[in-house]
Structure formats: C-alpha cells, structure tokens
Amino acid sequence: MHFLTVFTLALCGALTVARGCDVPLAHYKTMHCQPVGSRPDGCPERYDCPSITAHDSSKCYFNGKTYDIDQPVPDAEVSQFCSAICYCRSANPIAKFRCVHVDCAEFFKRFDYDNCVRQYSPQGCCSTGTVCGEERKKLATCELESEIYREGQRMHFKGNQCRTCICTAGFNATAIEQDPNCVETVCGFELFEEKQVYGGGIPVYKPDRCCPWEWRMPKQTDTVVKGTGSKPATDPKLQCKYGSLTLDVGDSLDIQQGAEGQKLSCSCQVPPLMHCMLN
C-alpha cells in the first residue's frame, strides 16, 4: 500500500451519495463518475465513468480531469498527498503521473504531544507550525463528537471517515457543510496506482478507511457466486465486469483467501465496478 495513498485517510468526506446507502463509493466520487438512477436503499443504480469505459491509455486522469503527456497538475491539487511537480508521462501500457515526494520536517522529529500541538491548513500535507506551552493554552478550542481539539488541529469524524475539519475559532459542529475548513477527500489512487485502477482492478476497502486500501486484479481462480434472489440484468450497464466475469447486482466472488488471516469479500453492489471489503 503506497504511503501517499494512505495519507488521504485524514482528508475524507462521506462514503455515500445519499442517505441510507451503505456501499463505499469514494472511488466513484474521486473519479467524478456520475450517479444514474436511484434505489430504495438510497444508492444509485449505477455510475457513469468515462475515465473507465472510454479510457485513453495515452492520457492521465485525476480528480475528474484529463491530462495530456507532459501536462502538469497544479501543486495545490496534489499537496495533500505530500506531492509536488506532478505531470503526466508516457508509459506502457498506461500513461502515468510522475511526482516529487515532499518530506515534512515533522516526519523526522520527536514530538511533545502533552505540551504542543501541530497546526494544519485544510488540504495541506505538512504542518504550518507548532504551538507549545503557555501559547498553546491560549489557542481556541473546538468540540467534535465529545473530543476537544485546539486551534489548527485536524479533527476527525468517528462515523464519517471521509470528512475532516481544521479547528478554528468559532467552529460550529452543526454547520460543517458550510465551513471552508471542513473538506471531503480526493483519494490519491489515480496518481499512484494507475495500472490497477485502469487495468481492470477493483477497489478494496477497510471498514475504518475512506479511500480504497488497495486495488485487486482479476485472478483465474475467481468464480461467481449468485446472490439470493438476484436476476440477470436486462441492461448490461447494470452489471459489473471483472476480468472475464460478468456479475449481476447481489452476486459475489468465490475467491481464495490469503494466509494472513484477513477475510476478503467482493461483490457487485453499484455497477460498473465491484468492490471488496477487507475484514
């Protein structure tokens, strides 16, 4: 798992696009796929994802935008991933981004958590400063879900892993949708895992993470397990394609589990992509 992708866990918004939908959808949101239709459970029937269905391997894709070879990505859009000077470069079989990794000074120093706080900007990687001692006590405080934070600290939601806020004076926990210091994620997988994302992979989620933990590629040993009551879709756009397999909504994969003791379950819930959960 790439560190820069893991870093985005601190900058996540909601996993769902509608109340009641409990399917992880951060990958669709990051790729700016468009929801189509609606179901009684609050989920869309499917997503329209041109970067997948009409992918051009001679171009790069990130955050809903298409980049030509040698075209740079604005630093402001990748700074949250501890990256800079990203540009699209030709590669085989899929064009990919090349970026410079940013090492923050705090990565290499011990930190006095009892007496100091690091302060951050909403979409930054490195801290903007450190406040300690008596000056720390003068900082404004924020309360979020029974946790107390000081001005400049990142605040995380227990039940909404995909949104984070920066504590500021006057923070109102009931108005986070309008707060410019509260942001939703842009996952970094398009920057660092283009072969998996656009080479037929599907996202693998962990229960406590917003962004996909990794992307799983098809294996010859994978087989389809029909879901209870699932019926073949009359519209192929309402099916999930995975390697040589076609799955209807509710179908899952029978896969060989790894030896690490973690169970992986993969199913077709909201086409066109399946998703997996790592428990």
pLDDT tens-digit map of 144-191: 988 999 999 999 888 788 888 999 999 998 888 888 899 887 899 999
In a domain, 1, yes or no: no
Domain that holds residue 205: 199-278
What's the token pair of residue 241? Answer: 């394609």
In a domain, 6, yes or no: no
- Convert the pLDDT of each residue in 251-274 to its tens digit: 999 987 655 556 899 999 999 999
258 and 210 in a common domain: yes
pLDDT of residue 200: 93
121 and 84 in a common domain: no
> How many domains are contained in the chain?
3
Using pLDDT thresholds of 50, 70 and 90, give the confidence band for residue 97: very high
96 and 45 in a common domain: yes
Point out the domain boundary residue: 58, 82, 101.
Answer: 101
In a domain, 124, yes or no: yes
User: How many C-beta atoms lie closer than 10 Å to residue 125's C-beta?
Assistant: 21
In a domain, 69, yes or no: yes
Average pLDDT score over the chain = 88
Please measure the distance between the N-terminal and C-terminal CA atoms of the chain and give it in whole angstroms.
16
- Convert the pLDDT of each residue in 104-137 to its tens digit: 988 888 899 999 999 999 888 999 999 999 999 9
* 3 state DSSP class of 70: coil
Query: What is the DSSP track for 118-148?
Result: EE--TT-SS-SEEEEHHHHHTS-EEEETTEE
In a domain, 17, yes or no: no
Whether pLDDT at 40 is above 60: yes
* 3 state DSSP class of 247: strand
> Rounded to an integer, what is the distance from CA 21 to the centroid of its chain?
17
- Convert the pLDDT of each residue in 184-210 to its tens digit: 878 999 999 999 999 999 999 998 889
H-helix or E-strand containing 86?
A: strand 83-89
Using pLDDT thresholds of 50, 70 and 90, give the confidence band for residue 21: confident
Whether pLDDT at 3 is above 90: no
In a domain, 256, yes or no: yes
More confident residue, 233 or 249: 249
In a domain, 92, yes or no: yes
In a domain, 271, yes or no: yes
180 and 109 in a common domain: yes
216 and 172 in a common domain: no
Using pLDDT thresholds of 50, 70 and 90, give the confidence band for residue 16: very low
Point out the domain boundary residue: 86, 101, 116.
Answer: 101
- Beta-carbon contacts of 75 under 8 Å, excluding residues fewer than 6 positions away, are 84, 85, 86
Point out the domain boundary residue: 184, 214, 241.
Answer: 184
* 3 state DSSP class of 221: coil
109 and 153 in a common domain: yes
